[in-house]
Amino acid sequence: MATVVQAHERECAVCTNDFNTPKLLPCGHLMCRQCVISWLDSKSNAGCPLCTCPIVEHQVNSSRISADVVDALPTDSVMEAIVENASILMKGGMCTVCDDLKAEYICMQCLEKMCPSCMKIHKKMVVSRSHDVESVSTVTPERLAASRPALCADHGDKQAEMFCVDHNLAICTPCFSNKHKACLDVKSLDEKMKSAEDAFHSLREKLLTAEDNLKQAIVNLNVRVQTADVTEQQNMALVDKTCDRLQNLVDECRKQVKKLISDSVSKFKNSLYDVKSELDKRLGKVTSHKHLVTRATTVRPRPALIHAAKTLTDRVNNLDLSDKVEAEAWVNPWPETMTYCDDVVKVIGDELKSIRQIVLAEVSNLFNFSHVQHDLI
Ligand SMILES: [Zn+2]
Ligand SMILES: [Zn+2]
Ligand SMILES: [Zn+2]
Ligand SMILES: [Zn+2]
Ligand SMILES: [Zn+2]
Ligand SMILES: [Zn+2]
């Protein structure tokens, strides 16, 4: 295991000291037992100081946030062992054998910190000859924790070789014969270590897989958020473009219909003007001949009146005295206008319907990917 526990990882977030009985919170963070108690006492529903997750899964009455509740949380025995070994490495600098000189070495088995001369003696003595002795400056708390022998729970100095599952204790062989004979589940310590390691191996695999899956799910979620943004932009642009085009269509329709109406009206008016100018001409001739006739009957010269009667009778008989001139028929532009408008309305309706379908299809696609179908549409 290459993982090294950094010094700050041994620190409790509340008291900032190395953990003292590290309790495992539901979120996976650690806090000293005493710190959980005082943290909960200070704020009755305080969450984990690192992630705000609830510390007690089922909120109990605030009066009952007591040692019992906190003791029900499991203790991280691995962190406990690391902290314990870190403190052995840090405590004092003097040789624990002679108490005279500065300690430079540590025995990985009996945890004796020694000066160079005591170390030499340790290496010569029969009982400790095979012990690993290392320089204090290079040993890490984890390495020390890993190489320390397990001691019998009853005999502080005797090495444990067995593990009684019934009592949940590491025990030495004599203790097994004396006190745990009747226990049903006692295994060799190595065997229990092996099965614990196997359990950790499969836990690690399980957590790694879950971690990968969750990371991938989050990546996928981000991709979907981006897709939603892109879809939004594209659809907005489509709506703008279509509406602009329809707006142009409406403007063009307005122009064309107005032109149809004004063309038709001015054609009709021109025809009326033509009729009027023809009637004006006839009126002019009639009026001037009326003057001739009036003058002749007023003056009555002889024999000019007789001649003039003949001439003017001929002339008036040839004048067009009719007040009827056909104007061109009025062509009502309305039917054509209506057809044109209906066409435009149909085009606009179709375009709006199809843009609605496109947008709905794209938006509902986004939802289909999410496996969550909402009735938003
Ligand atoms: Zn603490
Ligand atoms: Zn937390
Ligand atoms: Zn010494
Ligand atoms: Zn030793
Ligand atoms: Zn024992
Ligand atoms: Zn037992």
Does residue 40 fall inside a structural domain?
yes
What domain range includes position 26? 1-75
**75, 100, 119 — which closes off a domain?**
75
Closest CA to 20 of 42, 6, 37: 37
> Distance from the CA of 31 to the center of ligand 2, in angstroms?
9
Please, which residues bridge with residue 113 across strands?
106
Is pLDDT at 377 greater than 60 in this prediction? no
Give the number of the ligand closest to the Cα of residue 17. Answer: 1
Cα(first)–Cα(last) distance of the chain, in Å?
54
- Rounded average pLDDT over 13-42: 92
**15, 47, 75 — which closes off a domain?**
75
Q: Name the pLDDT band for 195 (thresholds 50, 70, 90).
A: very high
Residues with a beta carbon under 5 angstroms from ion ligand 3? 95, 97-98, 115, 118
Amino acid at residue number 172: C
Does residue 345 fall inside a structural domain?
yes
Q: Are residues 71 and 204 in the same domain?
A: no
123 and 129 in contact (C-beta within 8 Å)? yes
Cα dihedral 277, 278, 284, 287, rounded to 10, equals: -130
Stretch (H or E) spanning 134: strand 133-135
> Distance from the CA of 52 to the center of ligand 2, in angstroms?
6
> Cα–Cα distance between 113 and 104 in angstroms, integer?
7
Q: Is the peptide bond before 303 cis (omega within 30 degrees of 0)?
A: yes
Does residue 155 fall inside a structural domain?
no
- Rounded average pLDDT over 96-103: 90
Does residue 18 fall inside a structural domain?
yes
Residue 73: phi and psi, rounded to 5, are -75, 140
Q: Are residues 71 and 213 in the same domain?
A: no
Q: Indicate the number of domains in the chain.
A: 2
> Distance from the CA of 157 to the center of ligand 6, in angstroms?
19
Closest CA to 82 of 157, 147, 37, 164: 147
**75, 102, 126 — which closes off a domain?**
75
Q: Are residues 64 and 209 in the same domain?
A: no
Using a pLDDT cut of 90, give the percent of the chain over it.
67
pTM (2 d.p.) = 0.66
Is pLDDT at 211 greater than 90 in this prediction? yes
> Distance from the CA of 57 to the center of ligand 1, in angstroms?
20
> Distance from the CA of 7 to the center of ligand 5, in angstroms?
34
| Crossing angle between the packed helical segments 334-369 and 189-299, to the nearest 10 degrees | 170
> Cα–Cα distance between 112 and 134 in angstroms, integer?
11
- Inter-residue long-range contacts of 253-258, CB under 8 Å, 24+ positions, other chains counted: 253/340, 253/341, 253/344, 256/340, 257/337, 257/340, 257/341
Is pLDDT at 172 greater than 80 in this prediction? yes
pLDDT of 251 reads 96
